[in-house]
Structures are given as C-alpha cells and as structure tokens.
Amino acid sequence: MKKSGARILIYSHDTFGLGHLRRCRAIAHSLVEHFSNLSVLIISGSPIIGSFDFRARVDFVRVPGVIKLRNGEYTSLKLHLDIEETLELRQSIIQHTADKFAPDLFLVDKEPLGLRGEVAPTLDLLRDRGTRLVVGFRDVLDAPDALAREWARKKAIPALDTLYDDIWIYGLPEVYAPLDGLGLAPATCDKIRYTGYLCAPAPAEPAGMRLPAITSQPYLLVTTGGGGDGAGLIDWVLSAYEFCVAENLPRPLPALLILGPFMNGDTQEAFLRRADALAGVEALRFESHIEQLERHATAFVAMGGYNTFCDILSHDKPALIVPRVTPRMEQAIRASRAQTLGLTDLLYDPAENGAAERDPRDMLAALHRLADRPPPSRLALPGLRDGRARLADLAAPWIVPHGARRVSPRQSVAAG
C-alpha cells in the first residue's frame, strides 16, 4: 500500500512526571503547524497522556507504564508483570509501531537507547530502511560528572557515535551546553544542532473553559509541573501567606497554586485545606490547559523544569524559580544560568538538602520582589525563543521529499 504524506515518529520513555510528555507534545504540535500533509505519532509511557488534547494529525500510542523506585530499579506501574516482561512488551510494541507506521524521521527524546535499551532494535530496523534518526535533548541534563557516569553505564555515547544522524538540543549554548566535557568524538560533535527554546503562543481558549475566579485580577501562578516532587514549593508559598496573616503584614499578589497530578493525594488534600483558609489564595489539583492560566498570570513561581522555563519565556513573564537539587542538578543549573543572564529570579530551598528549615520570610521577600522584576525579553539573546521555527528547518529536508509541505504557522513567538 502506498504511503500518504510524510511521517514523524517520536519516542518518549515517560517513567514519571509531565516533562517529557509536554515537550514531545509541543514538538509534534509545532511540526504539524509548520507542515501540511505531515502526521506525527508519539510513543509514550505516560499514564496520563490521554488527559491531554492533541491537534489534528497528531496521535499517540501508549506503552505499558513503568516507574523508577528509590533504589534506582524500575517496576511495572499497573500490570502484574515483572520488569523484564514489561520491558519486553514495551519493546515489542515500539518496534511493531515503527514497522507499520514507517516514519521518515524518528525522534528519540533524551534516552539515546530508550529505557533499558528498549529502542535499540527499532533504531536498527529504521536505520536499515534509511529513516533519519535523531535524538533530542533538553538544554540541561545534569552536572557533567554525573552525566558522564550515567551515560557510561547506559552506553549512550557509542549510540550517539554510530546510530544517530543528528543531535538536536532544545536550547542555546550561550545559556548552557549540556554535552560539553563528555569527550565526544569530533564527528559526533558535528551532528549537534541547537534549536533555541521550544516557545509557543498560548493556544486559543477551549470552548466552555471556565477560568478560576482569581484570574480576574493580577495574580501569581505557582506551578510544580507534575507535582511529584513539588510539595516543598507549595508548602513554602503557603507558609509565606500564612505568615502575612499571623503577623498582619502586607501580602503579595493573590496566588493560584497548581499542585500537579502526581502529587500524593493526602498531601494535595492538606494543601487544598490550607489554601481555602487564606483569602487571595486558590489551589487546583491539575489543569490540562495550563497555558490559559499562564497567559493571564502576572508572574510565575515555579520549579526549574525545562517546560516551565519555556512557558516563562513564551509568555514573557517575570518569574521566581525554586529548583530542586536532587536527584539531578538539572533544575539548579538552569535556574542559576537564568539568574546570571538576568532572565529570572532564583531562590534555593534550604530543606532540599536538609541544610535548614524553610523560612517563610525568605519566600515572602522573594514574592514581593517579583513586582519589580522585568520580563525575560529584557535580554536580547538572538534565537532564544526560536526553537519551533528552527525545528521545522531541521526536519524539512527529511520530510518535504516525502510529501510534507512547508506552511506559515498561525502565529510566531517574537525572538528574544
């Protein structure tokens, strides 16, 4: 049967959180917006991928979920199968999907060989067919020494050397160069292309969506991403507002807290009760259309994940980043570089590494400072927010010959 149009397949292992899923979804949406007659299929292990809307010509296949335990081992998320059986099943679904979908370009997110090597057979299959093989990385992966150890264990560098045609990095080297210091071969370095950040205008407000009442006035949007490791940030922000009440102090702007779908249920309930007791504070468990809340917000208070950082740049909002420092230094590195460049404010959580208790006065002072912080656009860094257009440029040679046609997207994000 003759294949119709061009096709891109995206793989994301998605063991936990929203970061990988949101990035892959953003890439898929951007590509179909830039090209007509292109279909994009996402393979994901996210348990909540079905909670999100997808544009026309974008769809997904969900493989059985796995979760990483505290000891570093993986286990099946839902099925009563041991991890080896689960991985074998995932590998089979991935390979079969790639075989039948027959992509012109295969984009692998973050893990060059996939979870525990599950993508390796698919890479071999598609390479033999002449599919363009691309691995994409966020702007920061981890501290260089930690990344070197991890990649040595996973045999990631040989995969970059021999399997992939291109390496896309969704950032700018002026902000951070994540593969520096790894001793990559010159030929592998030649494959690297920086795209700029994957920024996008907010989509049209969904029909019938009702915004929280708090959004009718200036407000701070406090977001934890998936929320699995965001309890510390929410607790600290709530304690700052509670301290204002107890000490009769001037309060910052009202706050809308998004707890995140992976936050512990009991913890969510406790935070919802505390928020209900505070005037000018509202909390939601989860919002799949968070872009609309971001659009209306005056400023952000957030952890330092890649997608949240892109949202800050996209909406050009003042922001305070409170990064985690475990189990990776990724967020702390990104937040530190953003502060150094003048893009955002930074506040470290002293309780992250057990150094001290959180002082509500520190958070309160940081929230008040947001009123005077300029937006990120103050920094004129060429290409900072051009990731979507740059991705289209990089993909075009491998999909246009197969039927895709370049079109002008409905709206662009102004370059920083």
What is the distance between the alpha carbons of residues 170 and 139, in angstroms, rounded to a whole number?
Answer: 5
Per-residue pLDDT at 2: 64
Let me know if residue 205 belongs to a domain. Answer: no
Number of separate domains in the chain: 2
Per-residue pLDDT at 410: 61
Same domain, 225 and 185: no
Same domain, 161 and 227: no
Same domain, 399 and 271: no
Q: What is the CATH number of the domain that holds 32?
A: 3.40.50.2000
Side-chain half-sphere CA neighbours of 323 within 13 A = 24
Same domain, 283 and 352: yes
Same domain, 181 and 229: no
Let me know if residue 184 belongs to a domain. Answer: yes
Let me know if residue 267 belongs to a domain. Answer: yes
Helix, strand, coil percentages in the chain from 3-state DSSP, rounded to 5? 40, 15, 45
Same domain, 194 and 218: no
Per-residue pLDDT at 131: 98
Same domain, 177 and 294: no
416 DSSP 8-state letter? -
Contacts of 339 (CB under 8 A, 6+ apart): 321, 345, 346
Let me know if residue 414 belongs to a domain. Answer: no
Contacts of 190 (CB under 8 A, 6+ apart): none
Same domain, 90 and 15: yes
Domain extent at residue 350: 213-378
Euclidean distance between the first and the last CA atom of the chain, given in angstroms as a whole number: 46
Q: What is the pLDDT along the chain (416 residues), one digit of tens a residue?
A: 567 899 999 999 876 667 788 899 999 999 999 999 999 999 998 888 888 889 999 999 999 988 776 566 677 888 878 889 999 999 999 999 999 999 999 999 999 999 999 999 999 999 999 999 999 999 999 999 999 999 999 999 999 999 999 999 999 999 999 999 999 999 999 999 999 999 987 777 777 788 899 999 999 999 998 888 899 999 999 999 999 999 999 999 999 999 998 899 999 999 999 999 999 999 999 987 888 899 999 999 999 999 999 999 999 999 999 999 888 899 999 999 999 999 999 999 998 777 689 999 999 999 999 988 999 999 889 999 999 999 999 999 999 999 999 998 864 443 33
Which of 339, 254, 258, 341 is CA-nearest to residue 298?
254
Same domain, 167 and 311: no
Let me know if residue 222 belongs to a domain. Answer: yes
Same domain, 218 and 311: yes
What is the distance between the alpha carbons of residues 405 and 172, in angstroms, rounded to a whole number?
Answer: 27
